[in-house]
Structure 1
Amino acid sequence: MNADQGSQFTSLVSNDRLRRPGVRMSMDGKGRFLDNILVERLWRSSKTGRAYLRAGEAGSEVKAGAINWIEFYNLRRLHSALGGKTHAVVYWQRNETTNPGQQVQRVA
């Protein structure tokens, strides 16, 4: 597991919980916020696009909604930064270019 140096990741309880089952840990150096910027952007989009709009949902509704939102974000949402394509289309196109001849999943 790779994490930043936030207190939730440096606590003895957190570290012990990860070490017991044999998880290897690493931490980014201070000031390395750009290492996880893509994930931070994904969660920001998730919060503003779904979570904040449905604050009163039950736990099961939140889980189902999060799954649906991630599927939408990856498979159907067109991104201007990707030339109007979805993340999935760009991923599989790049995979075909870097691994020609390898059997890959197709996106409809």
Structure 2
Amino acid sequence: MNRDQGSHFTNPDYLGLLDRAEIKVSMDGKGQALDNVRTERFFRTLKYDLIYPQEFETPRQLRKGITEYIHEYNTYRPHSSIGDLCPLEAYNGREFCAA
């Protein structure tokens, strides 16, 4: 499991849990965000496309908005990094996403 060096990931109880489950831990060095670049980029896009422009009144509305956004992001939104396919097309190897 690749993690950063935040205190919650270096907690001895947490590390012991992973060790007992025989999960090998890999921690990035300080400033090594490139290991998580896809995740970091997705969360940046989510924040700028959905969370910052809208005012959600309740956590339930926020969860609903995020669920709908992720569905649209994976099903309808073309991504230049995968040949302008949507992720679902790239994953399934066929074209069926609406542009």
The normalised TM-score by structure 2 is 0.74
Aligned twin of 1:72: 72
1:46 to partner: Cα distance: 0.5
RMSD: 2.7
Percent identity of equivalent pairs: 28
Structure 2: how far apart are the matches of 1:49 and 1:5?
28
Secondary structure at 1:38 match in 2: helix
Q: Which residue identity is paired with 1:19?
A: L
Aligned twin of 1:88: 88
Q: Is the 8 A contact 2:3 2:9 kept in 1?
A: yes
Q: Gaps (5+ residues) in structure 2?
A: none
Structure 2: how far apart are the matches of 1:34 and 1:81?
16
Secondary structure at 2:53 match in 1: helix
Q: Gaps (5+ residues) in structure 1?
A: 97-105
Q: Is the 8 A contact 1:5 1:27 kept in 2?
A: no
Aligned twin of 2:44: 44
Aligned twin of 1:26: 25
Q: How many equivalent pairs are there?
A: 95
Question: What CA deviation, in whole Å up to 9, does each residue of 1:38-94 have, x standing for no partner?
Answer: 01111111101101112443010001111000001000112233332211101111x
The normalised TM-score by structure 1 is 0.69
Question: What CA deviation, in whole Å up to 9, does each residue of 1:14-60 have, x standing for no partner?
Answer: x16x8189483513230532111101111111101101112443010
